[in-house]
Amino acid sequence: MTVGLSLLRALKSHGAREIFGIPGDFVLPLFKQIEESAILPLVTLSHEPGLGFAADAAVRMHGGIGVTVVTYGAGALNMVNAVANAYAERVPLVIVAGCPGALEAQNGLVLHHQVQHVDTQWRIFREITCDQVRISDPAHAPDEIARVLRHCREYSLPVLIEVPRDITQAAMGEVPVLPATPYSDEAVAECADEWMQRIQAARHPVLVVDVEVRRFGLEARVAELARRLQLPVLTTFMGRGLLAEGQLLEGVQLHGTYLGIAGDARTTALLDESDLPVMLGAILSDVNFGVSAEKIDFRRALIAAQREARVGHHVYPNLPLAALVEALLQRIPAATRARAPAPMPIDAPGGLVADDEPVRAADVSRAINDRIRAHGPLPIASDMGDCLFAAMELLPTTLVAPGYYATMGYGVPAGMGVQLATGERSLTLVGDGAFQMTGLELGNCARLGIDPIVIVLNNQSWEMIRAFQPESRCSDLGDWHLARVADAIGGRGQRVRTRREFKAALDAAFAERGRFQLIELMIPPGDSTPTLKRFSDGIHAMRARR
């Protein structure tokens, strides 16, 4: 077997479902084997940032690992921001990057795509991946690749595999799937005992769930834990959309998303006034917890994330989240206790009034919630901008978004990745500024056989920038007539100004299959969702207090 085929088989055996790639001369030998072997389907897009975001969203939906294949230098370095997003948001993404062969790397000439050093790509990716391997010696490479792929899965973080272009055809053995990294059952039991003692002694415990619960496929088990513990449940900003699938919510007291000063006061109080936050898979980020008026004292919390568990000041290292969840479940009788009070109705506006009033940012969640109430949840991708705050106003539904890393450009490629991964039509929320960055990837939909629906909140500005710094004039973007752009690249564009037009356009978009749909909402400049307004008011108020 060749290096290329063995690597492709290994990616598949470790949970890859497809390859997102853009070729270049440093990876053409590998591309040839990808296409000839068809071990994994190949999806090509137009620009590496979009490629990385699409692969990120796909693996968030189907689990396993995501895979991108890019050329050396110009390709891989063009994807750095998308990989950084995956690292920050704990996404298991494999970057297979071409690199120079051994001989050409030493022939004394500076190579095309090379930067300061022939290893610059490697050095940059060490900062945004948890492990790396360069396949330079096929005799030892299988074990090294196995180690890297296990790290990708077990830490749910990106990894780099460099493939020198002169080695792709060399012979290499099978890459083993290593057994799970061992950990101490005793430590898990001791931690679970300690957590249970504290949970039973607490007066107002609250369960907070975040992205690692999905990354490790634990939503059903965590929902069962929530049912048995009978605790109120909150998601973090990043964890919005967790437990939203199907029956997961049965008997779970999901009270919505913690938004601190920007959220519903009763929901916020569940965490701010809790004497024991139990935080599963939580990233302690400013977006998740920085908007708390009462600075949360995490020393009184129980926190399990990044393969360790914390209790007060001490830490249990090398403790997988799945093992802890199972150990906790073993300590709680399955018999359901007295029904706990029903959760508070999730603060989700509905009831779009389809009249001739100008459409506003607040109407986005109203219209989508009406759709969810009438037709059930649907997978949603959101970009960064006020659209992400609109996504916080939605009823429980699957959501992929750069909730913590907060990069623009994620939405459109992510919505495409969602449909490519699940076959389900996705709905994407994106601002006009972010659409300008990666929106043209939609031109690939016809070739890929997908038909996502995209709602662009076109306020003709970087409105969030203006919200944070009103005096900035750099935020004006002008009118790009994005509905016409959609028509030009194979979709159907509808530009709407009133709420009546919005409702009609949304109904028409869902009614038509076979081409992507773009609804361009002409939002009045200066308008924003109530959630963004509360966030920015709250942040200004907190800054004023400091």
Q: Residues marked as binding for Mg(2+)? A: 432, 459
**421-450 binders of Mg ion (CB under 5 A):** 431-433
- Measured from the CB atom, is 20 or 435 closer to ligand S1T? 435
Q: How far is the CB of 106 from ligand S1T (least distance, A)?
A: 37
Piece of 172-180, 280-288, 384-392, 509-517 that binds ligand S1T (CB under 6 A): 384-392
User: Among ligand S1T, Mg ion, none, what does residue 322 contact (CB within 5–8 Å per kind)?
Assistant: none
Q: How far is the CB of 515 from ligand S1T (least distance, A)?
A: 24
Query: How many whole angstroms separate alpha carbon 89 and alpha carbon 219?
Result: 17
User: Among Mg ion, ligand S1T, none, what does residue 148 contact (CB within 5–8 Å per kind)?
Assistant: none
- Tokens describing residue 256: 């919505």
Q: How far is the CB of 432 from ligand S1T (least distance, A)?
A: 5
Residue 120 near residue 445 (C-beta atoms within 8 A): no
531 touching ligand S1T, by CB under 6 A: no
User: Among Mg ion, ligand S1T, none, what does residue 452 contact (CB within 5–8 Å per kind)?
Assistant: none
Name which position in 33, 397, 426, 459 contacts ligand S1T (CB under 6 A).
459
Piece of 86-94, 114-122, 242-250, 400-408 that binds ligand S1T (CB under 6 A): 400-408
User: In terms of C-beta distances under 8 Å and separation of at least 24 residues, what long-range contacts does 272-276 make, across chains too?
Assistant: 272/296, 273/204, 274/202, 274/204, 274/205, 274/206, 275/202, 275/203, 275/204, 275/205, 275/300, 276/198, 276/199, 276/202, 276/204, 276/205, 276/206, 276/300, 276/301, 276/302
DSSP 8-state symbol, 159: E
- Measured from the CB atom, is 210 or 432 closer to Mg ion? 432
- Measured from the CB atom, is 51 or 387 closer to ligand S1T? 387
Q: Where are the beta strands (DSSP E) in 198-244?
A: 205-209, 232-235
- Tokens describing residue 293: 């008026």
- Tokens describing residue 485: 């752009």
Name which position in 148, 238, 283, 408 contacts ligand S1T (CB under 6 A).
408
CB-based burial, 469-493: b 16+ in 10 Å, e otherwise: eeeeeebebeebebbebbeebebbb
432 touching ligand S1T, by CB under 6 A: yes
Name which position in 232, 431, 491, 493 contacts ligand S1T (CB under 6 A).
431
- Tokens describing residue 512: 């038509």
Name which position in 386, 393, 451, 520 contacts ligand S1T (CB under 6 A).
386
User: In terms of C-beta distances under 8 Å and separation of at least 24 residues, what long-range contacts does 295-301 make, across chains too?
Assistant: 296/271, 296/272, 300/275, 300/276, 301/276, 301/277
Name which position in 131, 393, 463, 501 contacts Mg ion (CB under 5 A).
463
Count of chain residues binding Mg ion (CB under 5 A): 5
459 touching Mg ion, by CB under 5 A: yes
Q: How far is the CB of 60 from ligand S1T (least distance, A)?
A: 19
81 touching Mg ion, by CB under 5 A: no
Query: How many whole angstroms separate alpha carbon 29 and alpha carbon 22?
Result: 13
User: Among ligand S1T, Mg ion, none, what does residue 384 contact (CB within 5–8 Å per kind)?
Assistant: ligand S1T
527 touching Mg ion, by CB under 5 A: no
- DSSP symbols for 38-91: -SS-EEE-SSHHHHHHHHHHHHHHH-SBEEEEE-TTHHHHTTHHHHHHHHHTT-
Task: Tell me which residue has its CB nearest to Mg ion.
Answer: 431
SS3 assignment, position 384? coil
Q: How far is the CB of 367 from ligand S1T (least distance, A)?
A: 17
Count of chain residues binding ligand S1T (CB under 6 A): 19
- Measured from the CB atom, is 78 or 136 closer to ligand S1T? 78
- Measured from the CB atom, is 208 or 434 closer to ligand S1T? 434
Known binding-site residues equal: 432, 459
406 touching ligand S1T, by CB under 6 A: yes
Query: How many whole angstroms separate alpha carbon 243 and alpha carbon 222?
Result: 8
- Measured from the CB atom, is 98 or 409 closer to ligand S1T? 409
Query: How many whole angstroms separate alpha carbon 529 and alpha carbon 506?
Result: 19
Residue 73 near residue 114 (C-beta atoms within 8 A): yes
Could you tell me which residues come within 8 angstroms of residue 166 by beta carbon, excluding any fewer than 6 positions away?
101, 102, 103, 104
Q: How far is the CB of 442 from ligand S1T (least distance, A)?
A: 16
x/- string (CB under 6 A) for ligand S1T, residues 108-127?
A: --------------------
Closest CA to 462 of 473, 476, 483, 478: 476
Q: How far is the CB of 457 from Mg ion (least distance, A)?
A: 6
Q: How far is the CB of 497 from ligand S1T (least distance, A)?
A: 17
User: Among ligand S1T, Mg ion, none, what does residue 396 contact (CB within 5–8 Å per kind)?
Assistant: none
- Measured from the CB atom, is 384 or 505 closer to ligand S1T? 384
**What is the residue whose two structure tokens read 């998303």?**
257
382 touching Mg ion, by CB under 5 A: no
Could you tell me which residues come within 8 angstroms of residue 307 by beta carbon, excluding any fewer than 6 positions away?
154, 155, 317, 318, 319, 320, 321
314-316 vs 308-311, strand pairing mode: antiparallel
Name which position in 464, 482, 483, 519 contacts ligand S1T (CB under 6 A).
464
Residue type present at position 419: Q
Q: How far is the CB of 145 from ligand S1T (least distance, A)?
A: 32
DSSP 8-state symbol, 359: P
| Phi and psi at residue 543, to the nearest 5° | -65, -35
Residue type present at position 79: M
Contact residues for Mg ion, defined by CB under 5 A: 431-433, 459, 463
Residues of the shown chain interacting with ligand S1T in the complex, contacts defined by CB under 6 A: 384-387, 406-409, 431-434, 457, 459, 461-465
